[in-house]
Amino acid sequence: MGKYEYKMQRLFLRHVLAEGARIEADRSQANYLMNVLRMKDGDYLLVFNGNHGEWLAKISSGSRRDCALQVMERTREQTEHNDLIYLFAPLKHARLDYMVQKAVEMGVGSLQPVMTQHTQSSRINLERMEANVIEAAEQCGILSIPEVIGPQSLKDVLAEWPQMHPDRRLLFCDEAEGTHNPLLTLAQMKEAGPQPLAVIVGPEGGFSDDERSHLRGLDFVTAIPLGPRILRADTAAVAALTIIQATVGDWR
Amino acid sequence: MGKYEYKMQRLFLRHVLAEGARIEADRSQANYLMNVLRMKDGDYLLVFNGNHGEWLAKISSGSRRDCALQVMERTREQTEHNDLIYLFAPLKHARLDYMVQKAVEMGVGSLQPVMTQHTQSSRINLERMEANVIEAAEQCGILSIPEVIGPQSLKDVLAEWPQMHPDRRLLFCDEAEGTHNPLLTLAQMKEAGPQPLAVIVGPEGGFSDDERSHLRGLDFVTAIPLGPRILRADTAAVAALTIIQATVGDWR
């Protein structure tokens, strides 16, 4: 992706996109484009809808309250939906926003909040999570919008796993793993051939001892360590996704 | 490190620590312990000074404005100072705080802001950076406090490198690298034997073309890619430090 595209404003739309289409931005999009970004008639931006690739568009007839976009030409083909499922204990407020944005940047395909014994935040605002997913996709040039799944208890997720996700391996980031390095385990997985993956990152206080031993006893779970230091949950998320994408993921 | 230690409050002090020492907390520490954390006489915490390991301490004679600590016994030996130098284009406000905290969690030994052509933030508050370094060390159980170095221009850093850092290799996170995967390059470095390392992460807009070609032309620089997606600068920082620590760093 060129610098040019990186610097252009990118906007997610729920409309069908095709050459020559004229799209009325909704009230909040118009406000964002015309008042926050101070764009003007004739300015260019990139638009995408998660299904039809990325398109160059031009602002036609913008005012302070309304704005229409003229779709010009396709700049990138639609990319495939990412397959990696990211399960995480929700954090509070800004740290959750941040964690969701980072997971999208790192190429997860779906995000599922999981309630654990030490989870501090029990109210999950799925709309806010979706808004963070879209913002990260807009900023980082991701064309396929990851799915946000409603919260479930860890117990239920694990009980239903064999039915819901046959053949999918769950990587469990375990602070208390004996070794510090995940590379050997991941290299062995890579040699065994491709398989669908999920990763689970615990809450700030870590998993409880019961949860850890339950996870470690399940045959679809593989524990991976993340180095010698304690990481905060949002750091552990980026570290885990980096090491997984670099070894058995899409950093080809 | 056990769960017990993880959950206990940990406080950085500038005092000499030894068994039986009595330490008067300064005004802001006393406020933090007594009013923010609502600790009471007889409560335990862990203290460290970056040089003498970690100690169990007890609050003796705390009031709302003053607080004395009784140092009990050493809980951990001092760890070695990390060697990895982390160079980064400063970001704005909260994102910089965040990036500094994350770098400490990931085990850097020193942090140096570097001004590049696209760097957006020119005023660097070194005191605030140091406060963030200490906060991250307190939260994540790191006993050796990374050093904060004053800002320098990228040009000067590179010109002085051979004198300042003989034999130290600079890993350059290059978005525009042809491949996506850094593992092969890092595996080759590992085979060549241990050497001191530094890593540089660019600003939100990336390095300029001039800067990129300058960096790529230097014999102490090795470019590494970070996957197929554009990462925000703070995400790139965690991703780069993860992959470096896991391959040629201290995730043994």
CATH code for the domain in which residue B233 is found: 3.40.1280.10
One domain, residues B90 and B126 = yes
- Residue B1 lies inside a defined structural domain of this protein: no
Residue where a domain terminates, one of A55, A76, A97: A76
Instruction: Identify the burial level of A76 via C-beta atoms within 10 angstroms of its C-beta, where 0-12 means exposed, 13-18 middle and 19 or more buried.
Output: middle
Do B96 and B190 fall into the same domain?
A: yes
The share of chain A scoring above pLDDT 90, in percent, equals 75
Q: State whether A230 and B182 contact (CB < 8 Å).
A: no
Q: What is the CATH number of the domain that holds A40?
A: 2.40.240.20
In a mutational test of the A interface, the residue from B230, B241, B248 whose CB has the highest number of chain A CBs within 10 Å is: B230
Residue A2 lies in a domain: no
- Total-model pTM: 0.91
Q: Domain for residue A252, yes or no?
A: no
User: What does A63-94 look like in DSSP terms, one character per residue?
Assistant: -SS--EEEEEEEEEPPPPPP--EEEE----HH
Asked whether residue A106 is domain-assigned, the answer is yes
Closest CA to B136 of B245, B243, A95, B144: B144
B100 and B70 fall within a common domain: no
**Are A61 and A143 within one domain?**
no
Q: Report the C-alpha gap between A227 and A174 in whole angstroms.
A: 10
Do both A60 and A111 map to the same domain? no
Domain shared by A57 and A97, yes or no: no
Q: Is the pLDDT of residue A181 over 60?
A: yes
Q: Residues A121, A240: one domain?
A: yes
Residues A22-76 pLDDT 10s: 999 988 889 989 988 889 899 999 999 999 999 999 998 767 778 899 999 999 9
ipTM of the complex: 0.89
- Phi, psi angle pair for B99, to nearest 5°: -65, -40
- Which domain-ending residue is among B27, B57, B76? B76
Is the same domain home to B131 and B30?
Answer: no
Question: Do A22 and A129 fall within a single domain?
Answer: no
Task: Mutate one of B4, B7, B183, B251 to test the A interface: name it (highest A CB count within 10 A).
Answer: B251
Contact B116, B211 (CB under 8 A): yes
Note which residues in 181-240 of chain A have CB less than 8 A from chain B.
Answer: 181-183, 205-206, 225-232, 235, 238-239
In a domain, B243, yes or no: yes
| B5 in a structural domain | no
Residue B220 forms part of a structural domain: yes
Which of A52, A76, A100 lies at the terminal end of a domain, its last residue? A76
Structural domain boundaries, residue B127: 85-247
Residues A29 and A113 occupy one common structural domain: no
Beta strands at B22-24 and B10-12: parallel, antiparallel or unpaired:
unpaired
- Over the stretch A142-154, which tens digit does the pLDDT of each residue have? 999 999 999 999 9
Whole-number CA gyration radius for chain A: 20
Whole-number Å distance between alpha carbons of A85 and A129? 15
Instruction: Verify that B33 and B98 share a domain, yes or no.
Output: no
My answer on whether B62 and B94 are in the same domain is no
Residues B153-186: tens digit of each pLDDT: 999 999 999 999 999 999 999 877 778 899 999 9
